[in-house]
Chains A and B, each alone.
Chain A
Amino acid sequence: EAGVTQFPSHSVIEKGQTVTLRCDPISGHDNLYWYRRVMGKEIKFLLHFVKESKQDESGMPNNRFLAERTGGTYSTLKVQPAELEDSGVYFCASSPRTRDIQYFGAGTRLSVL
């Protein structure tokens, strides 16, 4: 069974540009989560989808971040325009509807210069 896959693995962009991160959850997992780790800090929650609906987006830093989940399958996280403080590793996780365990992808390392 394929795990959670994220693309790209690394992205380097200039301040002011736009970047889109993609996450493919484990097949059949209704819950999809985005987390972020900035340098030296702990992994922090960004938002949670149940199928295509946003359940909790309390961790989104500001309105430069937009997350979508098309048809309840893959998800994208767009940052527009990117700022220096957006640099970090963005993780996606998924879980089945009736279980608490969240399975993580390898992450996308975003560097904003």
Chain B
Amino acid sequence: EDQVTQSPEALRLQEGESSSLNCSYTVSGLRGLFWYRQDPGKGPEFLFTLYSAGEEKEKERLKATLTKKESFLHITAPKPEDSATYLCAVLPGGGNKLTFGTGTQLKVEL
């Protein structure tokens, strides 16, 4: 059975204090690993897809990386508007259902 574990569950940063979120996964033939951002009362908002080990994607202050067992979401010099829950999900080869982790709740303070 596919499994996704995210850590930490919650993270509090000062503005400008860089950090990384972790997503460990087991999946039968990874087709893609997805990062989403979720704000309170809203649905998950797509950020990145990674398909193979060694791949990296960047968007503003966020960079996602992928190995064969885990993915990291690096946040460089975060701002308060980066506060949200970040979700990791995997898509298995030959399947269409995403398996999600429980997310990391990030709060960035001034």
Contacts and interface: CB of A to CB of B under 8 A. Distances in A.
Bound pair (A, B) = yes
Interface stretch (A14-22, A38-46, A64-72, A79-87): A38-46
B32 A42 contact: no
23 contacts: A4-B43, A35-B98, A35-B100, A41-B102, A42-B4, A42-B100, A42-B101, A43-B100, A44-B100, A45-B99, A48-B97, A56-B95, A56-B96, A56-B97, A91-B44, A100-B32, A100-B49, A102-B98, A103-B46, A104-B36, A104-B43, A104-B45, A107-B43
Interface of A: 4, 31, 33, 35, 41-45, 48, 55-56, 58-59, 91, 93, 100-107
Given A35-B100, A101-B49, 18 more contacts: A4-B43, A42-B101, A42-B102, A42-B103, A43-B44, A43-B98, A43-B100, A45-B97, A58-B97, A91-B44, A100-B49, A101-B34, A103-B46, A104-B36, A104-B43, A104-B46, A106-B42, A106-B43
Interface of B: 4, 31-32, 34, 36, 41-46, 49, 87, 89, 91, 95-103
